[in-house]
Structure 1
Amino acid sequence: MEHKNIIKRRLQETITGRLFKGKVIIVLGARQVGKTTLVENILSELDAPVIELNGDEADVRELLADTTSARLQAIVGRNKIVFIDEAQRISNIGLTLKLFADKLNDIQVIATGSSSFELSAKINEPLTGRKYQYLLYAPSYLEMVDHHGLLTENRLIEHRLIYGYYPEIITHPGEEQELLQLLSDSFLYKDLLLLEDVTKPVLFEKLLKALALQLGSEVSFNELSRLIGANHQTVEKYITLLEKAFVIFRLPAFSRNVRNEIRKGKKFYFYDNGIRNAIINNFQLPSQRTDMGPLWENFLISERTAIPGQA
């Protein structure tokens, strides 16, 4: 991508201000939301030597798993920043990051992960008090206004309601449908259906489509269970996985009585409109749709959710 097409993320300034404070920086987010690009943009503006390590590479996983502080120092050498991409792929990554924080705290470590259910479980206990953790979402309306102006973005709003804001979708006009189908398949098959927790992939896909079709409606686990023919526990477990993979999020009912709030149904929203529409394979124009109300609702609530901040 040419430099002029790089979308500056609002989280960039926040993270830059937390560098070299003696803590590991963790950036979580769904696949393809721009985590690697964000970190590389931050690093490009620093005058410090960097070593980049990718957890997708087998030799990197072997190098960083079950290691020692002396070995880490040898790996890092004279570099002052260590960037570990796809950190969730590395065994015992939490302990490795703890060694950096405790024994090599003059070195700034930045780690990214695309699956919170994998990475968070590995780092939460070892890195207690030793990390700044952030969530990165797909680019927002405000970030796109920053990028190319209010008038241009407002002209594209209906397009965004259908195709969403993923960076690859934004930067490849005319290819949105094909790219969104590939992206939604990546969420399902690479991150979720391959997990041991997903023992019934057919039910899992039915649940995801049911949530997409009931967008903006109040639903309960019992109702979803009846709809897809699964027990309550399976539905609850699969929804939790979808939340931890940054596909959906829940909005509980509001009540001044906490007991009533617990009993009431919940609404489930997608972090990105385009992913939702890819799941039900509906890319019709706004004038031909019957779900523009729910799409606007999803868009507005997900925009509020995506305000930059700590996880």
Structure 2
Amino acid sequence: MHIKRRLFEPVKEKLLHSGKIVLLYGPRQAGKTTLGKEIAKATGLRYLYINADQLRYIDVISSRDLNKLRDLTSGYELLFIDEGQRVPDIGLNLKILHDELPQLKVMVTGSSSFLLSGRVNESLAGRKKVFTLLPLSTGELLQHYNPFELSEQLTDRLIFGSYPEILNLRSTADKLEYLRDVSTSYIFKDILELENIRYPYKINDLLKLLAWQTGAEVSIHELCQKLSLNRETVERYLNLLEQSFIIFKLRAFSRNPRKEISKSVKYYFYDTGIRNVLIDNMNPPDQRNDIGGLWENYLIAERKKYLLFEGIHASQWFWRTYSGTEIDYIEERDGKLFAYEIKYRQKKASAPPSWKENYGHHFESVNSANYTGFLNPKKDPDQ
């Protein structure tokens, strides 16, 4: 099944008209190679595709030799390097291509380690445009399914997540096998490439602890005790997991530290399928005791994709007072605050009086009946 990605047009436009090297990065298995090939073909340019796994290209594209690079790309208008993180000195070689062969358009895909390793950012300052590709979003799926059809598939998305390959798998056994493979191999590759991790199995234990605490405030001190690791190591592992697009965090929103918590944090998974397989719970919603946290994770992760793919800048928070009053999700856009209460089942909710008194009246309740408007508020002209 082919789903057009929201980044297709922005990436193609930037590639054709900006004069910058286009870098497309994100988690493994998110569809970067497929999207890159579709864009390269759609440009109408004669392009050279290089898979950095192929050794015959590595010597040339890591050579820092202009003559070799010129010979390799001669006759082509576009160079597409896939899995660029595997090329030694990739940043310096891309700089040479940009500066010495300005007529050549260049697109490179890479995992998160591609940028985080420092091989690219320093060398390509002012010469690159970066796009981040995440697993499929609700807005992208709505280009193929109508809201009714998507709601029919909601349980599948909650349980098995939104990696593109999941849509091509029909049986539960195949989906489960795929997610187990991703969770035990692919998601750790970036971390192991970036740093020499002394206790890699501890990262898996850390992920399981976070998966069990989805939607709840996380105590770093408690994580340290359960993992038998010091605080510095746990915080480093958390940072690496965030940079590798496995988890992300929400901090507490507070402008009144006497009444509102300000130092707490919650962690969520970019993909609920990965979260569920980590705790070995692939049960449907009506057979789960964690549906509240799972639904909260799903909605906030999908909202994060929407904001990213639409290019909308927003700060994201949760809110709780010391007396226990709370709101699941807060956005700050253009200096305005928007509050959202997240419930799986339809249930009337109103803004807490203390929130209305201090921060305003924009408050919405999001549930399984109205969630598509929250995740895809901007309708496409053809819908």
Cα drift, residue 151 of structure 1: 1.8
Equivalent pairs, count: 307
Contact persistence 2:159–2:276 (CA under 8 A): yes
Partner amino acid, structure 2, of 1:13: E
- Aligned counterpart, 1:91: 88
Cα drift, residue 58 of structure 1: 2.5
Q: How does 1:285-300 map onto structure 2 within 5 Å?
A: 285-300=284-299
- Aligned counterpart, 2:15: 19
Residue 14 of structure 2: SS of its match in structure 1? coil
- Aligned counterpart, 1:230: 229
* Per-residue Cα deviation, 1:117-145 (whole angstroms, up to 9, x for no partner): 65552111111111110100001111111
Question: Distance between the aligned counterparts of 2:194 and 2:13, measured in 1?
Answer: 36
Q: How does 1:155-194 map onto structure 2 within 5 Å?
A: 155-174=152-171, 175-193=174-192
Partner amino acid, structure 2, of 1:7: I
Cα drift, residue 164 of structure 1: 0.5
Residue 243 of structure 1: SS of its match in structure 2? helix
Partner residue of 1:134 out of 115, 131, 134? 131
**Structure of greater relative contact order (alpha carbons < 8 Å, 6+ residues apart):** 1
- Aligned counterpart, 1:111: 108
User: TM-score, with normalisation over the residues of structure 1?
Assistant: 0.92
- Aligned counterpart, 1:240: 239
- Aligned counterpart, 1:205: 204
Partner amino acid, structure 1, of 2:15: L
Cα drift, residue 107 of structure 1: 0.9
Question: Distance between the aligned counterparts of 2:105 and 2:98, measured in 1?
Answer: 9
Contact persistence 1:135–1:309 (CA under 8 A): no
- Aligned counterpart, 1:62: 59
Q: How does 1:213-292 map onto structure 2 within 5 Å?
A: 213-256=212-255, 264-292=263-291
Question: Distance between the aligned counterparts of 1:146 and 1:239, measured in 2?
Answer: 34
Question: Distance between the aligned counterparts of 2:255 and 2:31, measured in 1?
Answer: 39
Q: Which moved more, 1:179-188 or 1:266-275?
A: 179-188
1:146 aligns with 2:143: yes
Larger radius of gyration: 2
Cα drift, residue 258 of structure 1: 8.6
Question: Distance between the aligned counterparts of 1:111 and 1:206, measured in 2?
Answer: 33
Residue 250 of structure 2: SS of its match in structure 1? strand
Contact persistence 1:88–1:119 (CA under 8 A): no
Question: Distance between the aligned counterparts of 1:195 and 1:132, measured in 2?
Answer: 22
The answer for unaligned runs of 5 or more in structure 1 is none
Whichever structure has more helix as a proportion of its residues is: 1
Partner amino acid, structure 1, of 2:31: G
Partner amino acid, structure 2, of 1:133: V
Partner residue of 2:77 out of 77, 80, 102? 80
Question: Distance between the aligned counterparts of 2:265 and 2:289, measured in 1?
Answer: 22
- Aligned counterpart, 1:8: 4
User: TM-score, with normalisation over the residues of structure 2?
Assistant: 0.76
Partner amino acid, structure 2, of 1:229: S
Question: Distance between the aligned counterparts of 1:24 and 1:189, measured in 2?
Answer: 27
RMSD of aligned alpha carbons = 2.2
- Aligned counterpart, 2:327: none
Residue 148 of structure 1: SS of its match in structure 2? coil
Question: Distance between the aligned counterparts of 2:119 and 2:257, measured in 1?
Answer: 32
Question: Distance between the aligned counterparts of 1:117 and 1:238, measured in 2?
Answer: 18
**Aligned CA distance change for structure 1 residues 28 and 258 (closer, same or farther; 3 Å):** farther
* Per-residue Cα deviation, 1:66-101 (whole angstroms, up to 9, x for no partner): 322222111101100010111011111111111122
Question: Distance between the aligned counterparts of 2:183 and 2:251, measured in 1?
Answer: 25
Question: Distance between the aligned counterparts of 2:71 and 2:206, measured in 1?
Answer: 48
Identity across aligned pairs (percent)?
Answer: 42
- Aligned counterpart, 2:41: 44
Cα drift, residue 61 of structure 1: 2.2
Cα drift, residue 303 of structure 1: 1.0
